[in-house]
Amino acid sequence: MAAKQHLAQLPDYQVLRAAHEEAWAAVWEDCDITIEGDIRAQLAVRYNLFQLLISAPTQDDRVSIPAKSLSGFAYKGHIFWDTEIFILPLFTLTQPQIARNLLSYRYHTLPGSRRKAQASGYPGAAIAWESATTGDEVTPRWILAADPDADPIRIWCGDRELHITTDVAYGVWQYWRATGDDQWMRNYGAEIILDTAIFWGTRVEWNGKRERYEIRSVIGPDEYHDRVDNNTFTNRMVQWHLETALAVWQWLETFHPERLSELEAKLDLKEDRRHRWADIARRLCVLYDPQTGLVEQCEGFFALEDINLADYEPRSRSMQAILGIEGTNKRQVLKQPDVLMLLYLLRSIGSPGGGQRLNWDEKILAKNWDYYAPRTDHTYGSSLGPAIHGILACDLEQPAAAYEHFMRAAMVDLEDVHQNAADGIHAASAGGVWQATVFGFGGLKLPDGESHPTAKAHLPPGWTRLKYKVKWRGQSYEFDFSAPTEAIPATPMTPGIRGVIFDLDGVLTDTAEFHYQGWQRVADEEGIAFDRKANEAMRGLSRRDSLLQMLGGKVLPEARMVEIMARKNRYYVDLLEQIGPEHLLAGAGSLLAELHAAGIKVAIGSASKNARMVIDRLNIAHLVDAIADGNTVDRSKPAPDLFLHAAEQLGLSPVECVVVEDAASGIEAALAAGMLAVGLGPVERVGSAHVVLPNLEGVRWADLLGKLTAAR
């Protein structure tokens, strides 16, 4: 009866559906990924995104996303490291409020984590491998074997798979980096990082013979080896964790001393803990050989029996099912990436301590990829692995291999690859698919500090376009990459063009109106006759030359000139508060993205001294490699200095550059620099350019290149 009464009060179906569609449209606006040229990949990516989006706690910060999301009963709805390492990045970078809810769940369940640590004889908080409502460890200790006559199987994950404690801290840190949410960090995140660091401060052991700290009897990400000493993933991440805890402690001490006082009393934070954490971070065992570049997965791993997985093909079972639990323990075969997972996380860890013992670089990655990838059970191991392999293959410029791994992850449920889709979808793999698309094929790089995300695409064969959005420090950034057409790499076309230099005003955006209003106000104050026709004659000129033009030959003292220019600039900057990404001129954003995807360097060559600010407000800084503006050269257009400086910043010769300009003085400057010129506007103004276009709307790089080739 209550349900019927509630229904009677609701609007009709069409109204409800319209509201439903509107709500979903807003979600997809933030999260959608566009792939062109591969409908199978497009559908798979959106399917995986949908599974995570429907599971997201938008209103509740005391629940999280379980390993099987909302789709099945496997693992009883428990929360694993899957959430922080595989799923959280999607929400951190597209819907940070949901990421905040997911991490707040870990804060609310800290009492359970403290009980787990205490039960093992340690202070602090140890995150449960499987967590439910309270945060207590709910991993079953025993499960029945498939064979009814076999003994029950001991499950060690809850006792030994301790890296989850640092994985959660990693998620907290990455959320803070991406959002700058100091309030949440002060009230919640800092306590998570510090209390879990207290656990590690006593869980490590001192080896007096080797004079180092060690972490024994653990399971790393590779669960084919269920009791190892000094798992490098665990040790290196703990090293990072303690370095980060020290930085958070210092941050609280500097900016929030009252909160630090609360935590000092609550967590028993004393100065000796700070010294111990620093000592452990310096002397914790990390099994890395700088001579070979190889990282040993755990102590003694290289001494295990090596096998060739190809000898076991064809197969339809995991290597553990074939060899048995003890069999995989004794051999160099992996369920999923372990060392490679570490190198993936290190690539953007943003640690304040820098991680002196093992820094990610391509040489280390290549060495360890060649060693560990062939020893990994890609087909029937963990569903968590393929997406990570796909990302790293992109880093190594292996797009075909990356695509194979990526599609294995993308189709794991749609094609029931592991024959277990009935248990529910693989939520971690779904999060990995987003990461593989954005960080792998999309080449997203996260910055340190306040700068902007950047990206360089690694599109696989067949993809003609990839578009996605991310949020960073409250700003939204869209990346839109188009694969070069077959003609671009094949023809001798590229008449040596490796860089494009854009004027700003009138080419990428139109701030001419703001300049006009600024000069008009100055003219009114100074009693100078001025109108739009006079303003047009100042197009492309520097601030000083514009003032001289407006004065019409009148001579003023230098101090007076400087004061008038400064006043006009203040007016102009105030007006610029109105500018945003929507002020990019038609075609400008897509052309910049296309050039970026094609590997063509881009510079701004503008007489404006506010060019950098305008670029930031337009949200195109990630597509620009260099800026030459009125602050960098003495002589303005039509002198070639500005464009020559831009080419120098790009590391290119003038003949390798083309200039896009809308002013006669700019075209003259480009020609004087020995560069090709594209003029935007009427022929009577920019007719001396090699190519004349009305504007950039609908302009594609391949077409423009063809016209430049013919003109040259």
Q: 691-693 and 676-680 as β-strands: parallel, antiparallel, unpaired? A: parallel
Could you tell me if 110 and 192 are in contact, meaning their C-beta atoms sit under 8 angstroms apart? yes
Exposure string of 349-387, with b = 16+ CB inside 10 Å and e = fewer, is: bbbbbebebbebeeebbeebbebbbebbbbbbbbbbbbb
Taking the C-alpha atoms of residue 624 and residue 622, their distance in angstroms, rounded to an integer, is 6
- The set of residues, in sequence order, having a beta carbon less than 8 Å from that of 286 and lying 6+ positions away, is 232, 235, 236, 239, 357, 358
Taking the C-alpha atoms of residue 53 and residue 39, their distance in angstroms, rounded to an integer, is 21
Which two tokens mark 567?
């006043």
DSSP 3-state assignment of 154? strand
Taking the C-alpha atoms of residue 300 and residue 711, their distance in angstroms, rounded to an integer, is 65
Taking the C-alpha atoms of residue 362 and residue 385, their distance in angstroms, rounded to an integer, is 20
Q: Which of 312, 264, 285 is nearest to 211 (CA)?
A: 285
Which two tokens mark 312?
């076991």
Taking the C-alpha atoms of residue 391 and residue 377, their distance in angstroms, rounded to an integer, is 17
Sign for the pseudo-dihedral over CA of 81, 87, 93, 98: negative
**Other C-beta atoms lying within 10 Å of the C-beta of residue 324:** 11
Which two tokens mark 205?
């052991």
The residues that bridge with 480 in the sheet, in sequence order, are 467
Q: What positions carry a catalytic annotation?
A: 223
- The set of residues, in sequence order, having a beta carbon less than 8 Å from that of 237 and lying 6+ positions away, is 163, 166, 167, 170, 342, 345
Taking the C-alpha atoms of residue 431 and residue 445, their distance in angstroms, rounded to an integer, is 17
Q: Running DSSP on this structure, what letter comes out for residue 509? A: B
Within 13 Å and on the Cβ side, how many CA atoms surround 622?
29
What residue type is 338 in one-letter code?
D
Taking the C-alpha atoms of residue 82 and residue 241, their distance in angstroms, rounded to an integer, is 18
DSSP 3-state assignment of 379? coil
Return the biggest CA–CA distance within the chain: 104
Q: Which of 603, 681, 614, 697 is nearest to 644 (CA)?
A: 603
Q: Which of 171, 176, 155 is nearest to 81 (CA)?
A: 171
Taking the C-alpha atoms of residue 673 and residue 601, their distance in angstroms, rounded to an integer, is 18
* Chain centroid, CA 28 distance in Å: 18
The residues that bridge with 679 in the sheet, in sequence order, are 661, 692
